[in-house]
Structure 1
Amino acid sequence: MGSERFGLYGRAVIDVWPDIAPVAGTPACGPPAFEPGSGWWVTRHADVRAALTDPAFRVPAVDSGPPGTLAWLRASVSRFSPPQRHAERRAIGVTALAELNPDELRHEAARLTVALLDRAGDHLDVMRELARPVPLRVLAVQLGLVDPAAAGTAVAVVAAAYHPGVDPALAERADRAVAALLALCPPAPLEVRANLIGLLVQACDATAGLIGAAAHHLLSPAVPITARTADLLTEVLRLDPPVRATRRVTVDAVRLGGRDLPAGSAVLLRFDAANRDPRAFAEPETFRPGRPGAGLLTFGAGERGCPGDRHALALAGGVLDVLRERCRRTPTPLRHEPHPTLRVPTTVEVSVR
C-alpha cells in the first residue's frame, strides 16, 4: 500500500507503507469476554476508553517494602497508587515534565544518536546501542540525575523487575538499583525522588519498544518513506504498540459493553486490539500516517493517562530522525522479550551509512 505525489522538480516521490500485520495473540474486537485464569478481556475502543475513565476500574494494589527497595518504589509512584494518593503523586511527575521542552529532548536525542552512529562502524543493534540508552540518558540529564549513564543502566535493571510477580533474583538486583538511583537523584523528599525514578522506569521499555518497532517497520531497503516522523511514530504506536495492555480491577459491580462484571473482577484492557477497532479507525489494518480517528489508547486516557506522551514521542522522534537518514534495516528475524503486556524487540540490526 502506498501513495505517489510530486516532489521538487516534478519528480515523483513514492511512499511505500509497511504491512504491519496484527501481532500474534492480538484478539479481535468484541464485547468484553471472560477468559478463565486471566479474567475479563476488553478489546473494543469505546469499552477500553470507558474502563480507563470509570472510577469503578482501579489499578491493582501493590505491596510496599522498606524505603529504597523495589517494592517501596512501586508503592510510592503514581502509577500504582490508590485513588486517595494518586493525584498528589502524579503532580510530582507532571511538574517535573513541565520543565522539559520536548523540542530540546528531540534535539538532544538526535545529537546523541549521531555521536553513537559515528562510532558504530558498518552495523549496529538499535535496541542495545540506541533504543534504551539514548532516551534514558537524555531524560536523566534533564531530570537532574548526577550520572546519567549510570542512571540509565540502573533504570533498565529496575524496569526488568518493575511489574509485580517477578523472579526474586531480579527483584534483589532491582533493590540495589533503586538504592543507586535514589543517590543519583537531585536532593528532594523520598517520595519526590521515587516519582522521578518512576518517570524514567516508565520511559524505559515503552520508548525502547516504540523505537525498535519503528526501526523494524520503517527502515526498509525499499523506497524511503517521506511522511513526517511524528506521523509515522503515531501510526506505529497504533498498529504495533509497545504497551499492549494494562490491568484493572473492578471495585464495584459494573456494566461495560453490554456485559455485567462483578466487583473484584480482574480486567485486561487490550490496547493492541482497541487500536485496530474498525468502529474507531477506517481501514484499521492499513498503515496510514496522519490519519484522522478516534484517538490512540496506547498512552491511556483519563486521570491516569501517561503524562509524558509528548516527551516520549520527542525522544523516539529524535532517534528515528537520524536512523531514517543514515540506516537501513538488515533482513534478520524479529523476536521480542517475553512479557505479558509489553512488546519490546530483543534486537533490530541495521546497516549504517
Structure 2
Amino acid sequence: MTDLLIAPPPGTPACGPPVRDPDSGWVVTRHADVCAVLTDPAFQVPVADAGPAGTLAWLRSTVSRFSAPQRHPDRRAIGVAVLAALDPDELRTAAARLTHQVLDGAGDRLEVMSALARRGPLRVLAIRLGLADPDAAVPAVTAVAAAWHPGAEGPRIAAADRAVTALLAMLPPSAPDVAANRLGLLVQACDATAGLIGAAVRHGLGTPPAVSTAALLAEVLRLDPPVRGTRRVATASVRLAGRHLAAGDPVLLRFDAANRDPAVVADPDRLLPGRTGLPVTFGAGPRGCPGERHALALAGGVVEVLRHRCRLVPGPADHEPHPLLRVPTRLEVEVR
C-alpha cells in the first residue's frame, strides 16, 4: 500500500492560470502562483471586524491570523513565543500516550474522529497552554472553531461567544492580546489537526512499518490537505501570471490544487511517502503557520500508535460540509 492512486477530493480545481470566479474572486491553483501570492506584500489577509471584548468577533480581530499588517508582527510574536516553550517531541510523546490509553479502553473497535482526532491533540495542547480545565476546553474550542470562518450562522456564533468567555476564564491572567493569541493557537489546531489525522487514517494505516509516520503525514498533507485553501486581498494593482488584478480584488489560493501541480510533482495523484519538498498546506511567507512542527508532532503521536495497533474498517468517507476544510465525519478502526 505504498503505491496508491488517490484521486483529487471532490471540488479540487485543476491547475492552471489564475481565473476569475464570480463567487470567490480570483482563484489561484498553480504551485508557483500560490507561493508568489503568499510571499508578496501586495496581497494581504482579509482583516476581521472588531467586536465586544470576550466574543468571537473580538477573538478573531485580536489573533494574528486575521490582523492588519501593522498589528500582525507583534501579535504573531506572542504565538511564536508560546510555541517556543513547547517541545514538539514532548507533544508527540504525550499524544501517543493518550492514544494508547484510549485504545486500551476501547474494546474491539473505535471511532477515531470523535474519540481521538478531535479530542486528543486539543487536550494535550490545552494542558500545556495552561488552561485550568482541559477536558472542558476541548468542546469549547470545537465550538469556536465551528464559527471561526466567515459564513457561520447565528446559533453557531452565539455558541462560540459563550465558548470564548468560558475559555478566557480557564486561562491564567494575562493581557488581552496574549490571551487571545494563546486561544488562537488552540482554535487553529482544532480542525486542521483532526483533518490531518483523519486523512492519515484513511490513506495510511496499511503502509508498511518501514515508512516513517513523518513521511506519511507529509504525503497525506499533499494529497488530502485538511486546509484546502486560504484567502487574500490585493491591496494594489498587481500582475500575477499574466493576469491583471485590481486593488481590492479577492483572491482564493487553492492548496489542494497546488499540491498536485504536475509542474512540480511527478505522478501527482500517487501516494509516495518520502518525496522531497514540502506541500504548501502550511502556507509560506510572513503569514506561514508558526505551529507547523507542533501540529505535525501532535498528529504524528496519534497516527504512529494507530498504525501499530489498528486497522481501518472499510466504509463511506463522508466529510464535514465546508468549502475550505476537509475533515472526515467518521472513521472506524479495529483495535488489535
TM-score > 0.5, shorter chain as reference: yes
Q: Which residue of 2 aligns with 1:308?
A: 291
After superposition, residues 309-328 of structure 1 pair within 5 angstroms as 309-328=292-311
Partner in structure 1 of residue 170 of structure 2: 184
How far is the alpha carbon of 1:340 from its aligned partner?
A: 1.1
Report how many aligned residue pairs link the two structures.
Answer: 336
Partner of 1:255: 239
- Counterpart residue type for residue 201 of structure 1: V
Q: Report the Cα distance in structure 2 between the residues aligned to 1:16 and 1:49, rounded to whole angstroms.
A: 29
Unaligned runs of 5+ in 2: none
1:75 has 2:61 as partner: yes
Q: 1:298 aligns with which of 257, 281, 289?
A: 281
Residue 227 of structure 2 is aligned with which of 243, 246, 253?
Answer: 243
Deviation at residue 16 of structure 1 after TM alignment: 3.4
4+ aligned runs moved over 6 Å, structure 1: none
Kept after mapping to 2: 8 A contact 1:218/1:225: no
- Partner of residue 51, structure 1: 37
Tell me, in whole angstroms, the C-alpha distance in 2 between the residues paired with 1:199 and 1:164. 18
Matching of residues 47-126 of structure 1 within 5 Å: 47-126=33-112
Question: What amino acid maps onto 1:308 in structure 2?
Answer: G
Give, in whole Å, the separation in 2 of the partners of 1:229 and 1:277: 24
Task: State the one-letter code of the partner of 2:109.
Answer: H
Distance 1:216 1:289 in 2: 15
Over the residues paired in the alignment, what is the CA RMSD in angstroms? 1.0
Mapped pair 1:338 → 2:324: no
Q: 1:171 aligns with which of 127, 134, 157?
A: 157
For 1:115-264, list aligned pairs within 5 A. Answer: 115-220=101-206, 224=208, 226-264=210-248
**Structure 2: how far apart are the matches of 1:134 and 1:170?**
23
**Cα distance change on mapping 1:225 and 1:33 into 2, 3 Å:** farther
Q: State the 1:301 CA deviation.
A: 0.2
Q: Which amino acid aligns with 1:257?
A: A
SS in 2 for 1:68: coil
2:270 aligns to what SS in structure 1? coil
Shift of 1:18: 3.1
- Is structure 2 residue 17 aligned with structure 1 residue 31? yes
Query: Which one has a bigger Cα radius of gyration?
Result: 1
Secondary structure at the aligned position of 2:130 is classed as coil
Task: Give the distance between the partners of 1:38 and 1:87, measured in 2 at CA.
Answer: 27
> Is the partner of 1:268 in helix, strand or coil?
strand
Q: Find the partner of 1:329 among 312, 316, 321.
A: 312
Q: TM-score scaled by structure 1?
A: 0.93
- Which AA in structure 1 matches 2:219? E
Residue 155 (structure 1) shift: 0.3
Q: For residue 248 of structure 1, give the secondary structure of its aligned residue in structure 2.
A: strand
* Partner deviation per Cα, 1:121-167 (whole Å, 9 max, x = no partner): 11111100000100000001111111111111110000001112211
Within 2, Cα distance between the matches of 1:63 and 1:127?
A: 32
- Which blocks of at least 5 consecutive residues in structure 1 are unaligned? 1-14
Helix, strand or coil: the match of 2:271? coil
Q: Residue 271 of structure 2 corresponds to which residue in structure 1?
A: 287
Whichever residue aligns with residue 61 of structure 1, its letter is: V
Which secondary structure state, in structure 1, belongs to the residue aligned with residue 334 of structure 2? strand
| Paired AA for residue 328 in structure 1 | R
Which residue identity lines up with residue 291 of structure 1 in the other structure?
R
1:64 Cα deviation after fit: 1.1
Which sits farther off after the overlay, 171-180 or 55-64? 55-64
How far did 1:19 drift?
2.5
